[in-house]
């Protein structure tokens, strides 16, 4: 099978870009030939698949013309790839950077088109799906979005037009929308983007972690909470720090270690100082490889406190497979991974008091931590591996190439088993 993949994304590198790279490697291992056209502001890392890179400006003012006016270099790169690579199928990741060029080319496709919704931008202008007052939105990009008080701003008009372009030029060609989470799959279906097929993502786990769970911290280590990820305002790390301040009234020895970096680091530093938590909070920066494993060995509980949309946070899988229970918020795909009382605990978004209570419960109950972490590890290894994901993705591709009509809200696993969804 020959698969041309187009990554139209100009946000900060993250889990979706890791996925685009990793799934290319997995497909290549199975004998499929893939090529990726990257419409991104930074060159992609080397991978097992062939890559073409078209730089897209990251600054809003410079980027806008590239989005709304077809760019000759983007068009020629994609057209050359279609002509020379001769794919059996095109897979679109995002519809963001240089989207005007994509919208000109897609109607001309003579092969099937599949799209993965790595975010919620098809149903929310800014992919948050949360209105003021921490109300989870029903979705849908309409003029009313400009008057809800959301952080849409002037970009709302741009997104309204972008979505009209997608609906008119791209949507008629899409044979299937793939949703990593149940939440985004249901949103897509509810707003007419069908068939929406649930295809959960995966985490690439080091062999030594697959072989054995990460040992619990020794008794000499004080109760330690962990956060791993980008330091962005929507990640809710400020809620976690507020929760720590509350929890320390009951458990004065509890600590928090924050791994990662990002533009919100300065504000978080100031918050820690203001709350008098300097001795209880450590910022360790980005971790990877052996330093990541060492970091996980030093924590008892992992927190994913996002207060806006998370489609499928791979960090939760990373924590669970290492035997660390997760306390997460009830948004996006977090509940797909964190099942209450089974693999972790869930709390409402933007609720430091509830977050503190859930974290305190786990910190105070080693037996519960062990049970939830053990079940979480078992589930990740059974359900969220690269091999299983690639099996399911292949099944979607083959069903589409066979001309089958796929049912919306179906499971990719059913297609892999030979069902029609």
Statement: residue 153 has pLDDT above 60: no
Q: 404: pLDDT confidence band, cut at 50, 70 and 90?
A: very high
Q: What is the mean pLDDT of the chain?
A: 92
Evaluated on CA atoms 215, 375, 116, 419, the torsion sign reads positive
Statement: residue 48 has pLDDT above 70: no
**pLDDT of 416:** 83
Please measure the distance between the N-terminal and C-terminal CA atoms of the chain and give it in whole angstroms: 22
Q: What is the CA radius of gyration of the chain?
A: 22
Predicted TM-score (pTM) of this structure: 0.93
CA distances from 7 to 3, 278, 366, 367 (A): 13, 41, 43, 44
Evaluated on CA atoms 82, 402, 404, 182, the torsion sign reads negative
Statement: residue 421 has pLDDT above 50: no
**pLDDT of 113:** 98
**pLDDT of 95:** 93
Contact 127, 310 (CB under 8 A): no
Q: 46: pLDDT confidence band, cut at 50, 70 and 90?
A: low
**pLDDT of 62:** 76
- What are the pLDDT digits (tens) for 154-166? 567 788 889 999 9
Statement: residue 70 has pLDDT above 50: yes
- What are the pLDDT digits (tens) for 356-369? 999 999 999 999 99
Span of 22-26, 76-80, 150-154, 328-332 with lowest mean pLDDT: 150-154
As a whole-number percent, the residues of the chain with pLDDT over 70 amount to: 95
Cα–Cα distance measured from residue 332 to residue 181, given in angstroms and rounded to the nearest whole number: 7
Instruction: Report the run of H or E that residue 65 belongs to, with start and end.
Output: helix 60-68
Q: 43: pLDDT confidence band, cut at 50, 70 and 90?
A: confident
Statement: residue 224 has pLDDT above 70: yes
The whole-number average pLDDT for the span 273-280 is 98
Please list, residue by residue across 364-393, b when 16 or more beta carbons sit within 10 angstroms of its beta carbon and e when fewer do: eeeeebeebbebbbebbeeebbbebbbbbb
Q: 127: pLDDT confidence band, cut at 50, 70 and 90?
A: confident
Q: Tokens at residue 305, please? A: 């406190």
Statement: residue 376 has pLDDT above 90: yes
Cα–Cα distance measured from residue 295 to residue 291, given in angstroms and rounded to the nearest whole number: 6
Statement: residue 277 has pLDDT above 60: yes
Phi, psi of 3 (to 5 degrees): -125, 120
Cα–Cα distance measured from residue 419 to residue 409, given in angstroms and rounded to the nearest whole number: 13
**pLDDT of 183:** 96
Alpha helices in 194-313 (DSSP H): 207-211, 237-247, 265-274, 290-297
**pLDDT of 195:** 98
The whole-number average pLDDT for the span 187-199 is 97
Which string of DSSP letters, residue by residue, matches 86-155?
--SEEEEE-S-TTHHHHHHHGGG--S-EEEE-SSSTTTSTTS--EETTTEEP-----GGGGGS--TTTTH
Cα–Cα distance measured from residue 300 to residue 363, given in angstroms and rounded to the nearest whole number: 7
Cα–Cα distance measured from residue 13 to residue 160, given in angstroms and rounded to the nearest whole number: 25
- Domains of the chain, CATH where assigned: 2-204+386-416 (3.40.50.2000), 207-383 (3.40.50.2000)
Cα–Cα distance measured from residue 322 to residue 271, given in angstroms and rounded to the nearest whole number: 30
The whole-number average pLDDT for the span 244-258 is 98
**pLDDT of 419:** 59
Span of 2-11, 114-123, 224-233, 411-420 with lowest mean pLDDT: 411-420
- What are the pLDDT digits (tens) for 322-342? 999 999 999 999 999 999 999
Statement: residue 389 has pLDDT above 60: yes
Statement: residue 304 has pLDDT above 70: yes
CA distances from 368 to 147, 216, 320, 364, 377 (A): 45, 13, 14, 9, 14
As a whole-number percent, the residues of the chain with pLDDT over 90 amount to: 76
Q: Identify which has the larger pLDDT, 361 or 63.
A: 361
Contact 86, 1 (CB under 8 A): no
The whole-number average pLDDT for the span 395-417 is 94
CA distances from 101 to 199, 215, 415 (A): 28, 51, 32
Q: Tokens at residue 299, please? A: 């924590």
**pLDDT of 104:** 96
């Amino acid at each position: 099978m020959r698969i041309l993949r187009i990554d139209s994304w100009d946000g900060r590198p993250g889990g979706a870009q890791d996925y685009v790279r990793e799934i290319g490697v997995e497909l290549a291992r199975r004998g499929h030939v893939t090529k990726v056209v990257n419409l991104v502001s930074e060159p992609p890392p080397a991978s097992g698949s062939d890559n073409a890179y078209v730089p897209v400006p990251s600054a809003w003012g410079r980027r806008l013309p590239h989005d709304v006016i077809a760019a000759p270099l983007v068009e020629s790169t994609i057209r050359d790839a279609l002509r020379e690579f001769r794919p059996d199928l095109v897979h679109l990741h995002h519809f963001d950077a240089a989207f005007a060029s994509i919208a000109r080319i897609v109607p001309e496709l003579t092969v099937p088109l599949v799209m993965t919704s790595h975010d919620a931008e098809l149903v929310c202008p800014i992919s948050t799906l949360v209105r003021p007052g921490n109300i989870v939105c029903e979705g849908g990009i309409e003029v009313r979005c400009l008057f809800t008080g959301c952080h849409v701003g002037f970009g709302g008009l741009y997104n309204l037009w972008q979505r009209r372009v997608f609906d008119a030029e791209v949507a008629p060609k899409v044979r299937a929308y793939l949703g990593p989470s149940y939440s985004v799959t249901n949103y897509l279906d509810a707003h007419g983007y069908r068939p929406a097929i649930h295809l959960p993502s995966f985490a690439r786990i080091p062999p030594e972690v697959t072989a054995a769970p990460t040992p619990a911290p020794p008794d000499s280590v004080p109760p330690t909470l962990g956060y791993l990820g980008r330091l962005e305002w929507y990640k809710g790390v400020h809620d976690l720090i507020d929760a720590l301040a509350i929890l320390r009234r009951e458990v004065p020895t509890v600590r928090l270690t924050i791994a990662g970096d990002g533009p919100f680091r300065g504000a978080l530093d100031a918050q820690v100082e203001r709350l008098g938590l300097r001795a209880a909070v450590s910022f360790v920066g980005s971790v990877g490889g052996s330093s990541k494993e060492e970091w996980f060995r030093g924590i008892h509980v992992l927190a994913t406190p996002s207060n806006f949309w998370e489609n499928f946070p791979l960090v939760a899988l990373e924590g669970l497979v290492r035997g660390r229970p997760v306390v997460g918020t009830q948004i996006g795909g977090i509940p797909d991974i964190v099942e209450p009382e089974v693999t972790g605990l869930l709390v409402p978004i933007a609720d430091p008091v509830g977050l503190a209570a859930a974290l305190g419960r786990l910190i105070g109950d080693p037996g519960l931590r062990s049970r939830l972490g053990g079940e979480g590890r078992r589930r990740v290894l059974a359900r969220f591996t690269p091999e299983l994901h690639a099996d399911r993705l292949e099944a979607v591709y083959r069903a589409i190439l066979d001309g089958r009509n796929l049912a919306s809200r179906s499971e990719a696993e059913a297609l892999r088993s030979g069902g029609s969804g």
